[in-house]
Chains A and B, each alone.
Chain A
């Protein structure tokens, strides 16, 4: 694919402009966008917040928001209130918007601006990677044509079964189920094709993670109803 550098710069500028709009709301210290792999795409923060610090925060958000999906049925917004301020997280299509505010922020104005800017950010994320990502992204490992475990769960041929197995596992393991299930699928894919006939082997791997024999048997019974 030929990348037009001018277009990338425009996208980067557009993302920064969108973030500046949020920062204009009184009490907002800074804002950033990460993509759906937890990579920092763009940020408008005072220089005291270095990039490594913001990247680490973006990774934390990426790793933990999925853990709240089961109990909420999909996260719309998270608002953490701390002693020295608040952190607002707004998941969007293709990534996440993260805001750091002080205690004086006007919530109503903030949420209105956030909802408006979230749409713009979604549009930019859909259009392609921003220029900052182009510049800072670490070298990728050699490209592979194989499907990632997450893609397989989200939209693979056996995704309905996998999602059912994952949801059932959540009843036993709570929010850690997503992470554990992902690891199980990864392990399963090392020796098996992602087809329905090899799902019993995945059930074995997942059941082993549960540990407790009674719960393992309960899990097997529950998933057997839809496999």
Chain B
């Protein structure tokens, strides 16, 4: 996704991004650095939705950018760079999750790590949310965060996670229903 906070229109931003991609494809690392700057927040968010923890999201985002740099010569200019990058970052995050799972299979119960930044909620609410998230499957958790928090569409989520669009839709439905059920009394506590 292109940074739209600047003065230029979306079209201008896209043109600028394409110019950066072309320059980066020709080996211009300054141009690639500008692409990193444009996309790193979103890349981090994609990774975070999949891996769960801030530290792993940071690693996965870095790995994703590195993979993207290596594969830059295969990127076609008529593609959307953001979507292409998000797929790569999602793959890096899924790969990291698999490796972590293999390493920690006998050590840790499935938990959702604490957030990097204090969300400002009462601690018991955070604990309840974490408990409810921990009861979801990893994929359901990724889907609800990518959709409801990051605003990706079902099809985009399906592409990123390597699942059919219908599965993403179904996962979202179940995840929402579960959180609603478990956190049902939340409103009375706010």
A binds B: no
